[in-house]
Amino acid sequence: MIEDLKLLETVKKPNPYEKFSLLENPFPGYGDVRTDVCTNQQEIKKAFLDLLGRFGPGAKRLRITGESGAGKTNILRYFERLTEEARLRGLIGAIYPIYISAPGERYSTIHAQIVERLQEIFFTDLINTLRAQPDLKEALSEIKPAAEFLEALGPLTQRHMLFDPYEERRINALVRWLKGYKLPAQEKKFLGGPLSELNSTSLAIRFLDGLLQVLKRVELCEGVVLLFDEFEEIFEKGRLSRTQQSQYAQDLRHLFDTLQDMVLFVVATTPNPEDLGQYPAIERRLGQPLSLQPIDSEEMAIAYVRDYMRAGRERYLQRKREEGEMIPDLEPLDDLRPLDEHTVIQEYRKLKEEAEKAGKRVLPGYFLPRMRQRMQEVVERDL
């Protein structure tokens, strides 16, 4: 079989990007997001790092604005990764990022996303901690908003059970309850206590607050960075009915206020969602907007290309080293080859003309996919 497999190796086409120390085209296509590169945007990065660095009680909010293609999702995903890295390197405490998007028509859509992510990150550890340290339960009972959650959690944390055949179903039921779903009687049996229905968003937010306080008390989580994408969808004219929109705004206000000690809210939105002005309470809570910067010069365009080349080469080196290949350090990593400054500038100027017709400036969402196309053309031409 080894011999036959070797035959397949010879059939495999060589990767044309390897010639330039890359695994693939380093530039994102239309709508693609890269989490490891974020060129420029110093003001926003500084504001975010300031808030992250002095994470503590009180309101922590950051409002990022930008048109479609300005890089809102990119910077949120970058902050998600940055927070993870900072925590893993011990630069910040146990602060976890949660990315949410597509806010839908009512608050329960984002509530479900938050609960799901908290479950993925913490539930196993939380259950194990409570099983190992049953005396913690008394300390936790002081957290009033968590009383019912802890009751519900009861059957999952009983120490005497060596193996609980219903554990997965109990967790599922708990998560569904926290999300605000109506539980059938059969599912309720898997959880402890007489459960109230989470039929109001204020109750759902109260329990979410309780859960975060529990996680803090058991030292699993000091806080959350909530990265809220596509926020404008809630306040675009005509997308939601007036009743839905004002209910959503009321729930968001409640969310911002209740969770302010434990959560850093980072909200990305288009510059002026048409109906947001009607909700001054929300505008006030979001704070002053910081705008994403367009690619305003040829130097900046080259800086973008260099950053993506560097990230692509770093991925290449990492992969090769993981595969056990002895690859010497590449110098410099941000070399533009197979592109060159002239090509980048040419593309930038062409795009600038097109953007001006649309009354826009050059945004990364237009520029990077164009560089991807150019890169592909150049690499394929060399084949």
Closest approach, Cβ 243 to other proteins, in A, equals 7
How far is the first Cα of the chain from the last one, in angstroms, to the nearest whole number?
Answer: 32
Q: Can you state the angle between helices 201-217 and 242-258, rounded to 10 degrees?
A: 20
SS (H, E, C) 157-184: CCCCCCCCCCHHHHHHHHHHHHHCCCCC
Lay out the site mask for other proteins across 45-84 (x = CB under 8 A, - = otherwise). Answer: ----------------------xxx---------------
CB 153 within 8 A of CB 143: no
46 vs 350 by CB, closer to other proteins? 350
Shortest distance (Å) from residue 102 CB to other proteins: 17
Q: How far is the CB of 348 from other proteins (least distance, A)?
A: 13
Under the binding rule (CB under 8 A), the answer on residue 242 touching other proteins is: yes
- Segment near other proteins (CB under 8 A); pick from 104-112, 150-158, 251-259, 273-281: 273-281
Asked whether the CA dihedral 65, 70, 71, 73 is positive or negative, the reply is: positive
- Minimum CB separation of residue 238 from other proteins in Å reads 8
346 lies in the binding site for other proteins (CB under 8 A): no
Taking Cα atoms as reference points, which of 7, 25, 71, 8 lies closest to residue 45?
A: 71
CA distance 154 to 164: 13
Which of 243, 328, 329, 383 is the binder for other proteins (CB under 8 A)?
Answer: 243
Query: CB of residue 1 vs other proteins: minimum separation in angstroms?
Result: 45
Site for other proteins in 276-315 (CB under 8 A): 277-280
Which of 366, 372, 374, 375 binds other proteins (CB under 8 A)? It is: 366
User: Interface with other proteins includes 30 (CB under 8 A)?
Assistant: yes
Q: Which stretch binds other proteins (CB under 8 A): 16-24, 182-190, 228-236, 348-356?
A: 348-356
CB of 247 to other proteins, least distance (A): 12
Q: Which stretch binds other proteins (CB under 8 A): 148-156, 204-212, 322-330, 351-359?
A: 351-359
| Residue 42 or 243 having the CB closest to other proteins | 243
Q: How far apart are CA 234 and CA 289, in angstroms?
A: 17
Number of neighbours of residue 152 by Cβ within 10 angstroms:
23
The residue from 3, 358, 381, 383 that contacts other proteins (CB under 8 A) is 358
Among 12, 357, 380, 383, binds other proteins (CB under 8 A): 357
Residues 132 and 193: their CA atoms lie apart, in Å, by 21
Residue closer to other proteins, measured from CB, 211 or 362? 362
Is the CB of 131 or the CB of 361 nearer to other proteins?
361
Find the helix packing angle between 364-381 and 341-357, rounded to 10°.
140
Q: Is 350 in the site for other proteins (CB under 8 A)?
A: no
Question: Could you tell me how many residues of this chain bind other proteins (CB under 8 A)?
Answer: 27
- The correct pick among 237, 322, 324, 342 for binding other proteins (CB under 8 A) is 237
Contact string (CB under 8 A) for other proteins, positions 319-338, x = contact: --------------------
Comparing CB distances to other proteins, the nearer of 193 and 369 is 369
Nearest approach, Cβ of residue 68 and other proteins (Å): 6
**Which residues between 149 and 208 bind other proteins (CB under 8 A)?**
none
| Cβ contact 175:122 at 8 Å | no
List interacting residues with other proteins (CB under 8 A). 30-31, 67-69, 237-238, 242-243, 272, 274-275, 277-280, 351, 354-355, 357-360, 363, 365-366, 369
